[in-house]
Amino acid sequence: MSGGKSALDERSRRVAESLSVGNPGNNARSLPPQAGPLVECQIELGIEEIRPYEHNPRRTRNAKFEDIKESILAGGLRSPITVTQRPGEAHYIVESGGNTRLLALRQLWAETKDPRFRRLVVLFRPWRSETQVLTAHLIENEQRGDMSFWDRATGIVALKTRLEAEQGRALTLRPLEDALHGLGLAVNTATLALYLYATDRLRALGEVVPDLAGLDVKTLQPRLNALRRYAHARAGIEENPLYDEIFEPVFRTMAGSFSVKATVEGCELALARRLGEPVEVLRQAISSGAARAERDPLREDVERRSDAPPEPAVDGPAAAIADFARKAGIDTALASDRESVFGGRLAPLSERHQADAAKRRAWSALALLIEPDREPRPEEPPPPPPPEFIRWLADPEDETAAAFLALLAALRQSRSVPAGEAT
């Protein structure tokens, strides 16, 4: 009996020894970090695992930051941040808006150590490309309507650079517009040309004037172009040295006290000093059109890149109508008619143009002006809704809206001429 008990004890001892094996050593230090999920889903992350998107087009601080931070402190994060993860990186980045909320959460965690701000549930989207992330941030900021003109311009130009690198070719205005529309960004060629001019020639001004508006640039560009033509005709000064040595020092003085008038006057004075002539002489020459004889290289470049015909001078209702129709892309529907009050009539839009809301709106607006008694046909678009129409007219960066306002001004002027004095 004792022999059997001894054998049983020995077997028990061996079993116990076999179960006392320690865990294997950790040889996985060189393994890459775990990749993110392959599908869109919600995950929980620590606040330190998420970083802001370093190429966020919005550079100006959100004016509502303190309100957003106070709201998160009181009620928590109500809308989750969307994140993604670049291949091979351990951290996550904000994918489409949310940099302000992330900064507020980081500050709240550092200040309060409240566990609510330590970990958060986020919406994860699998990585697609740098272009997709930059586009998502641009769209998010556009929808919120709180981006400055300068941030929009530099963001679009940065996206253009990425698209050109991906496609291996330079993008002129028309292909760029098509590419941006394909990404979900509605930007027309006129606005793109304005962005390119601003970021190329007004960078020193944009950096010191965060509230620079598109209307400011539209007003500055032709006046600076007139000075450029005068400088070239008068002393052979080329565009690059003109901006680098004469205009940009003026731009840098505008911080805190910007106005289009002061900027133009400063550039006029600086150029007059360089030319060694009284500024009054320069201004008189500019106003009299002495510098207009030379063809505008910038306009030629824009026309070449946009595949558009040269812009006509708007010197009356007929010219203003033609200018608006061309800029709105409905010039093919505008036919000459000598019996019409304004020398033209509208044909129905093509089926392709009927599918474009902007062209339908422009056609309806023009029809109301030049053919107010026209009986609409079934295939013709109805007049635009008033709220949408007013918002369109008030958009300072919409070239077709500016052309429509110019058309209205031309009509008002033509109708105010006393009978017998009209030409």
pLDDT bin (cut points 50, 70, 90) of residue 46 is very high
Helix 189-201 and helix 149-167, axial crossing angle in degrees, nearest 10: 100
d(Cα 361, Cα 418) in Å, to the nearest integer? 33
Burial (CB count <10 Å: 0-12, 13-18, 19+), residue 206: buried
pLDDT digits (tens, 9 = 90+) for 359-385: 888 888 888 777 766 666 666 777 666
In this predicted structure, the answer to whether residue 240 has a pLDDT above a threshold of 90 is yes
Is pLDDT larger for residue 337 or for residue 400?
400
In this predicted structure, the answer to whether residue 22 has a pLDDT above a threshold of 60 is no
CATH code for the structural domain at 41-129+137-143: 3.90.1530.10
pLDDT digits (tens, 9 = 90+) for 317-330: 777 787 788 788 88
pLDDT bin (cut points 50, 70, 90) of residue 4 is low
Q: Tell me, what's the pLDDT at 51?
A: 93
Q: Tell me, what's the pLDDT at 17?
A: 54
Q: Tell me, what's the pLDDT at 373?
A: 63
pLDDT digits (tens, 9 = 90+) for 116-171: 999 999 999 999 888 888 988 888 877 776 678 888 999 999 999 999 998 999 99
pLDDT digits (tens, 9 = 90+) for 174-224: 999 999 989 888 888 889 999 999 999 998 887 777 778 888 999 999 999
* Closest residue by Cα to residue 125 from 36, 47, 201: 36
pTM: 0.58
Q: Tell me, what's the pLDDT at 338?
A: 55
